[in-house]
Amino acid sequence: MRFFIGFMVAILFADKAAAVDSYADLVEQLMPSVVNISTEKETVADTDAAVDNLMLNPALQGREALGSGFFVREDGYILTNNHVIKGAKKINVITEENEIYAAKVIGIDTPSDLAVLKIDVVAEDGKTLKEVKPVVFGNADAARIGDKVLVFGNPYGLGVSVSQGIISAKSRDIGLGGQQYLQTDAAINRGNSGGPMFSLDGEVIGVNAALFASQGASGIGFALPSNVANWVANQLIESGKVRRGWLGFSVANGLDSYTGKAGFVITEIDESSTAYKEGMRVGEIITAYNDIPATDVAAFLSFTETMQPGESLRLKALSYGEEFRTVIKIQDMPADKLQDFTAQALKNSYQRSLGSEDGEVYYISEFKIAVKEADPRGLAIVKIDKTSPLSGKGIKIGDIILEADRADIYTAENLLDSIRNAVVSGGQQPISLLIQGTDNIFYSNVEPVSEND
């Protein structure tokens, strides 16, 4: 009996191992959906430099560039990366059977770096030219770190190829348009850009977007999640453009200094937005949206971005420690999408504090710190004394002081004014500072010291 049980367990494990020994059946099923994309371009766009450093260099002048794509509808619509076809004067699609079709651009979306192409699959006389097998989109949100994936593409122009790996991480920000990416160890090389990442269920969960590697060899790869890709593709097909929901304000992880509750602190707000007209202000803390706890900024931004303009968003928030609820209308995102000024200020401050001699340094004796003015606002900390009241509060060199007691800080004089205003009956009151850190924004109560301390 013991032998029989052990024998059965061995069979179960053997069957399980055999199930992943080969992906041949699945690859054979998926391969017809994937295409190679060949383009001829007139010029090299300098704005692609950031993408080129990560992934496919799509165009050397006068040369063909090769990328990847995949069918998303039976009538010949193909999804790929915008940087694969950007600036092309001619686009050809090569199928698994080495059939070549001229493609036209239906629409592009710069923020997601996606583009939709179309080939004619039906002739004018109604004769079918090409039987198309579209992919099935899966739910990238449901994917887990450690899940196996298959990555298809056209590496180095060799033709459609497949590699296998796992999802190494989710919600990676790699500096391309503010999007969040899936990270994988599957081999992604030059030419894979725009190709699909499949789950073992045969569903697309990502679109190959970028890689980090030495000399262009396989390394860490990134894919735009399928939920975003499918949403963008549908809009481009239907209208040729993407309508995004706009909150009218920027947020970052933060803490309410009055209650200690965590949430999203509003760091910038547009005065023309419905949120501002409903009374929301910089410094307030959002603790929940549509009954979802405010814990993941990336998830919040993705959620609101995909809302339709005109839809209502319910918010629960804190203002000076007092809880309130409000409803704001999602607006159309303006053409000149708002940039995250505080993130840019942080970037600039690190550049200044790590070697640049530009900009005047001010010493704030009450805090025992040295600061420089940051762009577009705030004071970048370039030195903190060991006896500074900021020590031990998680504040470090490179961080930016954005506010003091809810007053915006632009210059050292602004901060000194706030310190002077805190003087009550000959003593110093703690000052609430809004600090932009490396990956979050938080409040910290700091008590100034006298010059003799």
**Residue appearing with tokens 């060199």:** 397
Q: Catalytic site residue 405? A: no
- Quote the tokens at residue 299: 């998830």
Catalytic residue, candidates 33, 68, 83, 432:
83
> CB of 390 within 8 A of CB of 384?
yes
- Using the Cα atoms of residue 189, residue 170, residue 255 and residue 392 in order, give the sign of their dihedral: negative
HSE-up (13 A, CA, CB side) for residue 370: 9
Q: What distance in Å separates the CA atoms of residue 242 and residue 321, rounded to the nearest whole number? A: 38
Q: How far apart are CA 166 and CA 184, in angstroms?
A: 6
> 251 has which bridge partners?
266
Task: Name the active-site residue from 48, 68, 112, 113.
Answer: 113
Q: Would residue 193 show up in a list of annotated catalytic residues for this protein?
A: yes
Helix (H, G, I), strand (E, B) or coil at 11: helix
| Structure token pair of residue 14 | 């053997």
From 193, 250, 273, 349, the catalytic residue:
193
Q: Which two tokens stand for residue 57?
A: 């260099």
Our answer to whether residue 168 is catalytic in this structure is no
Task: Tell me the Cα Rg of the chain.
Answer: 27
Q: How many helices (H) and strands (E) does the chain have?
A: 9, 30
Residue type present at position 21: D
Q: Among all residues, which ones are annotated catalytic?
A: 83, 113, 193
